Structure 1
Amino acid sequence: MTNIILCGGSGTRLWPISRTLMPKQFVKLFNDKSLFQLTVERNAKACDHQFIVSNAEQYFLALDQLEEPGIHSTFNIQHSTFLLEPVGRNTAPAIALACLNIDAEEIVLVTPSDHLIKNETAYLEAVSTAKLAAEEGNLVTFGIEPTYPETGFGYIEAKSRDSEKLEVGSGKFSVLDVRKFHEKPNAETAQKYLDAGNYYWNSGMFCFKAGLFLDELKKYAPEIYEACLEAYENEQEITQGQLRIRHEDMMAIPDESIDYAVMEKSDKVKVIPCDIGWSDLGSFDALYDELEKDENGNTLNDNHISLDSKNNLVIADDRTIATIDVEGLMIVDTGDALLVSKKGSSQKVKEVVKHLKEKGSELPKIHLTAHRPWGTYTVLEDTPGYKIKRIVVKPGKRLSLQKHYHRNEHWIVVSGTATVTVGNETKLIRPNESTYIKMGEVHRLANEGKIPVVLIEAQVGEYTGEDDIVRLDDDFKRN
């Protein structure tokens, strides 16, 4: 069985910890592991191959997290395939493009990468049941048994538990016919769904044969199928295990979810009601419910000093946060942005992100620390006329051969030995040594050593934006 992992989405409702270039699935929220890593670990116990659908920027982030020691030992990274989308076109195209690259008879388990599942035993049992049902020619979805009238989820309406039950596997989980999919309801309708007993939260997880899904897609959404087929036929293999879709082909595919394209129309859909400790962590209120807390209901954080404060969500990376006589607040500090909100209002965070985008701010896109395929950089100071960064280059990696039109750069090595190319000259720069790159000069920074290179970069110029880079050669095939 192959696990198709969907890594799309920017997680705007968890801003400022979630950004476009570091969305919530890659943020390490639980025991120094990300939701993406937990997804891979969990599904590696049921699947022998991972097919990861991601955009090009997140590919290197995902690869880094897969190669971390604690994660790498749980599965064979050689059994992972990446499909890189230049732009997202929703879940139906993403799943279709993955299935086109998989044998038609292969059972696929489709999962988002940003969900939390706490009852792994029950989850794996549900997956085993879904696999058996999929082998019988069904499109299986996982319905979460609701515990309260949630208005933020779509619902799946099933037929009777008794009369329509499909007997497969151990019998611990029912496999029911689906009557209808429902959009996010208002509070009154959500309560009716809860009272009815045959409505389930739509988890966005599926299990089916790759070929069956494509057949149903061709039947009910032929325009999506044909566009995906053309994109698949034109896809490029950059390296073994890394497939890339052309931008023009991706833009030609209609933007549609799997629910609208197939699941709401097909007569082969089954649902497995599940109680697996599931959360989509779609808001800070949901995150608060899942994090460990002290005796006063405050989330545990070494940087938090609490005086007569209770039931607060406090997330802080570096700075100390002190609260006095406050209750029911959400305080999220990331160095370059501070969010303060009442609990229960976290769904409005996306409105803040919208406002920032309208202003042209970079805050929705990137953190002070940015991850690149060669390492990381952290912005220490950004003022008109100059910018100061801390750059870390991983062993054996190098930045692109590049030049800038609007800035000069000074590099001071703090640790490690940097191999620096400026113009036609290449030299080694050691700790406490520096070099200067004049505006317009072709240059490159590399680490040929065994330990990370750490340096301080001072940029001076009228414009120091990240788009002032002209790449002449790049190991990672970036534009």
Structure 2
Amino acid sequence: MNIVLLSGGSGQRLWPLSNDIRSKQFIKIFHTADGELESMVQRVYRQIRTIDKDATVTIATSKSQVSAIHNQLGEDVGISVEPCRRDTFPAIALAAAYLKDVKGISEDEPVVVCPVDPYVEIDYFDALKDLGALAASSNANLVLMGIEPTYPSEKYGYIIPDTPAPVSTVSMFKEKPTKEIAEQYISQGALWNGGVFAFRLGYVLDRAHALIDFENYEDLFSKYETLDKISFDYAVVEHEDRIEVMRFSGMWKDLGTWNTLTEAMDSHNVGEALFNETCRNVHVVNELNLPVLCMGLKDIVVSASPDGILVSDKEQSSYIKPFVNTLDHRVMFAEKSWGSFRILDIEKESLTIKVTLNPGHQMNYHSHDFRNEVWNVISGTGRAVIDGVVYNVHAGDTLQMNAGSKHTIFADTELQIIEVQFGKDINVHDKHKYDLPSLF
């Protein structure tokens, strides 16, 4: 199976756990069978591998999410990186060119496209395999998955099929309706449009070449910033007559708000939390090293992270976006390809960060013009390189790098350091990257 997972979105609706760097699909909130926590993208990727261990999985995403994807899924997953946001048609066109020119996928092979973060069970991925097989054998150019509605939702578009058969031609598409109109659509046999569809690779490449002047993946990548923003629906679906829809009746949820996310949680808390006996339908997600105590609360979600604290009625939590838009606060936690960092303290001329490097990973070899840095190793072992000199490091060691000094650190085991930056102009843009000489 060739599957493209669309990974977009900004971190507003699940603030404070999500931010401009960490979108909702990277929040580790679900328990695995062995008791560990996994994110939506990890859950979906694991489910795909359970159904098809040889599947070609490509994640279409922005540059800002690449580090988090590598951190959570490893280095082997395919990534089609959008140089900038240009909506779903350019993203899918770029991913299609990536599959052909980088991964060597034949134009006759089917490709399934779906969001990266649905909350589903294994039968959904069985259905995706069926969808791909249908795209390969059908006379239709596009085959969509239509999800049987469980209630008259105002959040989704609707697909109205011509017949109630498991696979049908499509009569029409409807935009997101009011609840009353959604009820009318459902009475006509309408299905939710969950943004899941399949096609033969050559079909989308032909459509892309018809709308964009490019030769191959590298050429399209280089021209990406010049492309118009346009959705796949507007660019392709609305102009295609040969479309079929395949029904899916299994569980499918879009966990886009705190209200829907807490419904899917398998416990009332992630992180340290206490509830007294008067609490009802209260959920806590706590990423801080501090306890949260809840008393006498009902239908409340509490979320605490280095970026802030949310205490909200669950229904009202759907309306946090305009309030989050008013916040001007730097990102306090982020995952990188080599590990993660958490900002501990911000002063006028200093910044203190806890850095965690995964075993076998390292930072870029880099320098700064306007700040000095001190590394205090608090756990693990590794090797630091400062201006070409290698230092073995372990818990208790302290290293100092002055402005202009080239430096990096390599983790032999999980390595945790406290980094203190000193300077009058501390900002993320003060960084020069270099190739690391062969020292070890």
Same fold flag (TM > 0.5): yes
**C-alpha separation in 1, matches of 2:427 and 2:129:** 47
Please tell me whether residue 41 in structure 1 is matched to residue 43 in structure 2.
no
Report the more deviating stretch, 42-51 or 32-41.
42-51
- The C-alpha deviation readout for 1:336-368, integer Å capped at 9, x for no partner, is 301122222223122123222xx4x32xxx3x3
Pairing 1:343-382 to 2, within 5 Å after superposition:
343-356=314-327, 359=328, 361-362=329-330, 366=331, 368-382=332-346
- The C-alpha deviation readout for 1:387-445, integer Å capped at 9, x for no partner, is 11122233443322322233221122223344333345443344322222222x22212
Tell me what 2:34 maps to: none
8 Å Cα contact 1:288/1:299 also seen in 2: no
**C-alpha separation in 2, matches of 1:205 and 1:115:** 10
Distance 1:405 1:300, change over 3 A: closer
8 Å Cα contact 2:272/2:292 also seen in 1: no
SS of alignment partner, residue 29 of structure 2: strand
Tell me what 2:78 maps to: 81
SS of alignment partner, residue 14 of structure 1: coil
**C-alpha separation in 1, matches of 2:201 and 2:275:** 52
Counterpart of 1:232 (choices 209, 213, 217) is 217
**C-alpha separation in 2, matches of 1:419 and 1:331:** 40
Please tell me whether residue 437 in structure 1 is matched to residue 401 in structure 2.
yes
8 Å Cα contact 1:418/1:445 also seen in 2: no
Pairing 1:43-62 to 2, within 5 Å after superposition:
43-44=48-49, 45-46=51-52, 48-62=55-69
Tell me what 1:169 maps to: none
Gaps of 5+ in 1: 68-76, 166-173, 236-244
Gaps of 5+ in 2: 32-36
What is the TM-score when the length of structure 2 is the normalising length?
0.88
**C-alpha separation in 2, matches of 1:82 and 1:59:** 8
Give the deviation of 1:307 after TM superposition: 4.0
Distance 1:33 1:263, change over 3 A: same
**C-alpha separation in 1, matches of 2:109 and 2:19:** 34
Q: Aligned letter for 1:39?
A: V
Distance 1:231 1:342, change over 3 A: farther
Tell me what 1:269 maps to: 243
Q: Aligned letter for 1:316?
A: N
**C-alpha separation in 1, matches of 2:350 and 2:271:** 34
Tell me what 1:8 maps to: 8
- The C-alpha deviation readout for 1:168-214, integer Å capped at 9, x for no partner, is xxxxxx111112222111222122223x2421111111111111233
Distance 1:419 1:126, change over 3 A: closer
Give the deviation of 1:264 after TM superposition: 2.2
SS of alignment partner, residue 41 of structure 2: helix
Please tell me whether residue 280 in structure 1 is matched to residue 254 in structure 2.
yes
Counterpart of 2:193 (choices 190, 202, 210) is 202
**C-alpha separation in 2, matches of 1:399 and 1:123:** 36
Identity among equivalent positions (%) equals: 28
Distance 1:427 1:130, change over 3 A: closer
Give the deviation of 1:446 after TM superposition: 2.2
Tell me what 2:266 maps to: 292
8 Å Cα contact 1:36/1:114 also seen in 2: yes
**C-alpha separation in 2, matches of 1:208 and 1:346:** 37
Distance 1:433 1:154, change over 3 A: same
Give the deviation of 1:128 after TM superposition: 1.4
**C-alpha separation in 2, matches of 1:85 and 1:52:** 10
Q: Aligned letter for 1:390?
A: K
Please tell me whether residue 132 in structure 1 is matched to residue 134 in structure 2.
yes
What is the TM-score when the length of structure 1 is the normalising length?
0.81
SS of alignment partner, residue 259 of structure 1: helix
Tell me what 2:184 maps to: 192
Please tell me whether residue 159 in structure 1 is matched to residue 121 in structure 2.
no
Q: How many pairs are equivalent?
A: 422
**C-alpha separation in 2, matches of 1:323 and 1:82:** 42
8 Å Cα contact 1:330/1:343 also seen in 2: yes
**C-alpha separation in 1, matches of 2:21 and 2:124:** 33
Tell me what 1:96 maps to: 93
**C-alpha separation in 2, matches of 1:299 and 1:180:** 43
**C-alpha separation in 1, matches of 2:378 and 2:128:** 52
Give the deviation of 1:302 after TM superposition: 4.5
SS of alignment partner, residue 376 of structure 1: strand
